Amino acid sequence: MSTNFLGIKRLMQGVLFLLAAAAAATAQSKEAELSAKEPLIEQRLIHISEELRCLVCQNESLASSRAELANDLREEVRLLIRQDKSDAAIKAYLVERYGDFVLYRPEVKPLTWLLWFGPFALLLCGVVGMVLYVRQRQAVQKLAQPLSEKERDQVRVLLKNGESP
């Protein structure tokens, strides 16, 4: 008798729990909120922070790092975005404090001319070199052409004259 009673109690508890859970689930289930409260600011943040370096990581962008300082710096960038600062101004703000190291896209200045223009200058050299090489090859080919009939006769004469008597 007592077991039955216990069993029914358990059953009732179970049903109540399920009902409560179902109620809770339907009451609270909804579209997940974006981590970011302001999507437009987040968009700009991602765009800017993808080009910034996480200073305490071993080569990760500020966008992807979950380090403490990275969180703080992203918050700082959000602040600056809310103040309507331009991308360039925000980058300058960080460079002022952390140096060029924080930029993943090196600024184009005399120090980085070789970096930015070097490859294309090299390409130009390569193209010019290639054309010169092909031209040179064609010139050599011309020289290596078999002798014409006239040239053959000339050689015969020269050889005959060079023969010792």
Residues that bind other proteins (CB under 8 A): 25, 28-36, 42, 50-51, 53, 55-61, 64, 66, 68-69, 72-73, 76, 95-106, 111-112, 114-116, 118-119, 122-123, 126-127, 129-131, 133-135, 137-138, 140-141
Min CB(81)–other proteins separation in Å:
15
**Whose Cβ is closer to other proteins: residue 133's or residue 152's?**
133
Min CB(165)–other proteins separation in Å:
38
For residue 120, list its beta bridge partners. none
| Number of other CB atoms surrounding residue 63 within 10 Å | 17
Distance of CA 55 to the CA centre of its chain: 18
For residue 53, list its beta bridge partners. 61
CA–CA gap between residue 89 and residue 57 (Å, rounded): 24
Phi, psi of 137 (to 5 degrees): -60, -40
**Whose Cβ is closer to other proteins: residue 7's or residue 126's?**
126
Min CB(122)–other proteins separation in Å:
5
DSSP letter at 148 equals: P
Min CB(115)–other proteins separation in Å:
5
**Whose Cβ is closer to other proteins: residue 133's or residue 157's?**
133
CA–CA gap between residue 61 and residue 105 (Å, rounded): 11
